[in-house]
C-alpha cells in the first residue's frame, strides 16, 4: 500500500505499453519517489483506470483504491 499524492500516465519510449505512475507523499512530491501503479496494453485501458480512480475518490475521498 502507498500513500500516493500525484498520479500520471506515461507511454514508455520504445514500448507498446502505458504506465500509470504515482508519487508518494513520503519524502515530498519532488523527491524522486515515483512508483509504478499499473501497466496497461492500450492508452484506452489506462485512461479507463484513471477514470475509475477519479470516480472512486469523488465518492470516497479518504478511501483506499485497489488497482486493477
pLDDT tens-digit map of 31-65: 568 889 999 999 999 999 999 999 999 999 888 88
The whole domain housing 51 covers 4-59
How confident is the model at residue 32, as a pLDDT?
Answer: 61
- Asked if the structure places residue 19 within a domain, the reply is yes
Is pTM beyond 0.85? Reply is: no
How many domains are contained in the chain? 1
- Asked if the structure places residue 66 within a domain, the reply is no
- Asked if the structure places residue 37 within a domain, the reply is yes
How confident is the model at residue 10, as a pLDDT?
Answer: 92
- Asked if the structure places residue 46 within a domain, the reply is yes
The full 3-state SS of the chain, as one line of letters, equals CCCEEEEEEEECCCCCCEEEEEEECCCCCCCCCEEEEEEECCHHHHHHHHHHHHHHHHHCCCCCCCCC
- The predicted-structure confidence for 1-29, as pLDDT tens digits, reads as follows 678 888 889 988 778 899 999 988 765 55
Amino acid at each position: 500500500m502507498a500513500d500516493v499524492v500525484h498520479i500520471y500516465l506515461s507511454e514508455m519510449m520504445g514500448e507498446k505499453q502505458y504506465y500509470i505512475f504515482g508519487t508518494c507523499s513520503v519524502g515530498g512530491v519532488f523527491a524522486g519517489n515515483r512508483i509504478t501503479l499499473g501497466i496497461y496494453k492500450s492508452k484506452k485501458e489506462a485512461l479507463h483506470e484513471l477514470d475509475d480512480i477519479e470516480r472512486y475518490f469523488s465518492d470516497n475521498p479518504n478511501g483506499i483504491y485497489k488497482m486493477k
